């Protein structure tokens, strides 16, 4: 196939990616958008396979079979609650792919033994990459490695394989700065000495360590931002790999993803009232002035029972449900929907309040509630629902914590001060379904639990909601 036809097919693929992302931005066209992007991918892959520079297929077929089986299994088996982890892992693989592509190209460019012998005899070095290709390779390897190891640390934190608390040691920032500068100098030196394989693999190692060190000090609460940022990195790494291969579709698709990841990261930071710099580097500095939990809660927390809450719901006219990550953990989305159905059958108005950062990803709660077939128009965003809390009889908070913490509104010294929250405490009664009084991701006590109009319903989210529904139906 001629190079022109291949390039035309690549432009078609790129156009399909653009239409796909545009389609994904509207609920009505999202499914088609995803399909368009998948078709674009198929077009790009097929024309690449018939490219005249591809002459042997055994490694390709082997890799594709392994990849397709693993990818499809992950996609089908994964629980909806584990979605953030899965995206982190897929993202890590994407970064790993860019790293290995660039490493393969680098290895291929190395002079063979014969050429080395000739070089020694003639004292004239041959082989190695040109300056532009070497810079692109260095960047693809560097960004790809950071994405790979960073994503896996994010995965381990979300899966709770390692502690979600920020981890660090003195001099960590200095070490990171050193690794970054060292890596950039190494890339620079490789343009002068492009046959130095030791230095090249040293760069890979340094970048892998840097990926780990960059994500370790970030707390579990900020993982969505990190995944979003790493998603952006994996796009940039693909674009860099595109420069290495001189391939237009890699460059276009990679930069589209790179730009989208940065915008999404920005939106998430705005919702949490934090700057990206603060998320990435600020956590360790903030430790210290934590409020004493015992002081906040002592003698003021009222525990309730499903019977009591059911009686209260019996006389309510408007109920708002506030889901959080605890809902996902307890797999309580179907139980919540049944409860809402029961209440609606009794003529109670039920709505859901979705905080932009509830759960561990933007839209996480929407996906979960959609799984339980909760109607789209009952999910209200923060700005829409906040003015209505004063006319709400009962708010049921299920596994949400920090997004309802009134300290964000009232306590100027609090680390979360200024973060927009759901003003659930304005409602007549707040019922908090929670396992215990333990702190949320932000590691702070929540004075909401000690308010006069708050009742705590301790226990597993799903069991508590099922009990509640049972008593409500009996009454």
Partner 1 sequence: MDISIIHVTLFVLAIFLGFELITKVPPTLHTPLMSGSNAISGITLVGAILAAGHGGDQTLVNVLGFLAVALATINVVGGFMVTNRMLAMFKRKD
For residue 214, the minimal CB distance to partner 1 (Å) is: 19
Would you count residue 103 as binding partner 1 (CB under 8 A)? yes
Cβ-based nearer residue to partner 1, 5 or 72: 72
Q: Which of 127, 188, 205, 246 binds partner 1 (CB under 8 A)?
A: 246
For residue 460, the minimal CB distance to partner 1 (Å) is: 24
Mention every residue, 6+ apart, whose C-beta is less than 8 A from residue 427.
320, 389, 390, 392, 393, 394, 395, 453
Query: Nearest CA to 212 among 130, 261, 268, 155?
Result: 155
Q: Which of 242, 323, 324, 443 binds partner 1 (CB under 8 A)?
A: 242
Say how many CA atoms lie within 13 Å of 379 toward its Cβ: 19
Would you count residue 138 as binding partner 1 (CB under 8 A)? no
For residue 266, the minimal CB distance to partner 1 (Å) is: 10
Region label for 273, one of left (φ > 0), alpha (ψ between -120 and 50) or beta (otherwise): left
Catalytic residue among 222, 402, 425, 460: 402
Q: Which of 1, 3, 5, 25 binds partner 1 (CB under 8 A)?
A: 25
Would you count residue 111 as binding partner 1 (CB under 8 A)? no
For 60, the token pair is: 């390709």
Length of the chain equals 475
Which span sits near partner 1 by CB under 8 A: 315-323, 366-374, 389-397, 419-427?
366-374
Query: Nearest CA to 39 among 57, 71, 66, 12?
Result: 12
Residues that bind partner 1 (rule: CB under 8 A) add up to a total of: 112
Sheet holding 429-434, edge to edge: 379-381, 349-354, 318-323, 394-398, 429-434, 454-458
Q: Which of 153, 279, 361, 398 binds partner 1 (CB under 8 A)?
A: 361
Write out the binding residues for partner 1, residues 52-91 only, by CB under 8 A: 53-57, 59-60, 62-64, 66-68, 70-72, 74-76, 78, 80, 83, 86-87, 90-91
Helices 333-345 & 461-474, crossing angle to 10 degrees?
20
Element (H, E) at 238: helix 223-245
Residue reference for tokens 């080395």: 116
Would you count residue 285 as binding partner 1 (CB under 8 A)? no
Residue 425 is among the residues annotated as catalytic for this protein: no
Would you count residue 239 as binding partner 1 (CB under 8 A)? yes
- Are β-strands 394-398 and 349-354 bridged in parallel, bridged antiparallel, or unpaired? unpaired
Cβ-based nearer residue to partner 1, 142 or 449: 142
Active site residues: 402
């Amino acid at each position: 196939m001629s190079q022109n036809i291949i390039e035309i097919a690549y432009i078609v693929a790129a156009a399909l990616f653009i239409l796909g992302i545009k389609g994904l931005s509207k609920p009505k066209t999202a499914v088609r958008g995803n399909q368009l992007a998948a078709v674009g991918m198929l077009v790009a892959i097929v024309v690449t396979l018939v490219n005249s520079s591809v002459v042997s297929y055994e490694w390709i077929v082997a890799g594709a079979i392994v990849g397709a089986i693993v990818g499809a299994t992950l996609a089908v088996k994964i629980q909806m609650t584990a979605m953030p982890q899965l995206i982190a892992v897929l993202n890590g693989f994407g970064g790993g792919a860019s790293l290995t592509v660039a490493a393969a190209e680098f290895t291929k460019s190395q002079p063979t033994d014969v050429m080395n012998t000739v070089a020694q005899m003639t004292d004239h070095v041959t082989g190695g990459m040109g300056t532009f290709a070497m810079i692109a390779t260095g960047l693809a390897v560097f960004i790809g490695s950071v994405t790979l190891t960073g994503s896996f640390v994010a995965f381990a934190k979300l899966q709770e394989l390692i502690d979600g608390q920020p981890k660090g040691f003195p001099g960590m920032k200095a070490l990171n700065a050193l690794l970054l500068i060292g890596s950039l100098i190494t890339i620079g030196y490789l343009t002068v000495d492009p046959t130095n394989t030791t230095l090249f693999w040293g760069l890979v190692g340094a970048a892998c360590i840097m990926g780990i060190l960059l994500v370790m000090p970030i707390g579990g609460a900020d993982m969505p931002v990190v995944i979003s940022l790493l998603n952006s990195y994996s796009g940039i790494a693909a674009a860099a790999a595109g420069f290495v291969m001189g391939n237009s579709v890699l460059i276009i698709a990679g930069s589209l993803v790179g730009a989208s990841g940065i915008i999404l990261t920005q939106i998430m930071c705005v919702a949490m009232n934090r700057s990206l710099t603060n998320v990435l580097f600020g956590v360790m500095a903030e430790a210290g002035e934590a409020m004493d939990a015992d002081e906040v809660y002592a003698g003021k927390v009222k525990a309730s029972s499903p019977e009591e809450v059911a009686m209260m719901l019996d006389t309510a006219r408007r109920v708002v449900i506030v889901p959080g990550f605890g809902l996902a953990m307890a797999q309580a989305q179907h139980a919540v929907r049944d409860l809402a159905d029961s209440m609606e059958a009794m003529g109670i108005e039920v709505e859901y309040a979705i905080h932009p950062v509830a759960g561990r990803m933007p839209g996480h709660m929407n996906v979960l509630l959609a799984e339980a077939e909760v109607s789209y128009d009952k999910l209200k965003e923060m700005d829409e629902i906040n003015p209505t809390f004063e006319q709400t009889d009962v708010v049921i908070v299920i596994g949400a914590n920090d997004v309802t913490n009134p300290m964000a509104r009232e306590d100027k010294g609090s680390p979360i001060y200024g973060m927009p929250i759901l003003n659930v405490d304005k409602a007549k009664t707040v019922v908090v379904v929670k396992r215990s009084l333990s702190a949320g991701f932000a590691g702070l006590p929540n004075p909401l639990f000690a308010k006069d109009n708050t009742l705590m319903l301790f226990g597993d989210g799903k069991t508590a909601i099922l009990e509640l529904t049972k008593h409500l139906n009996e009454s």
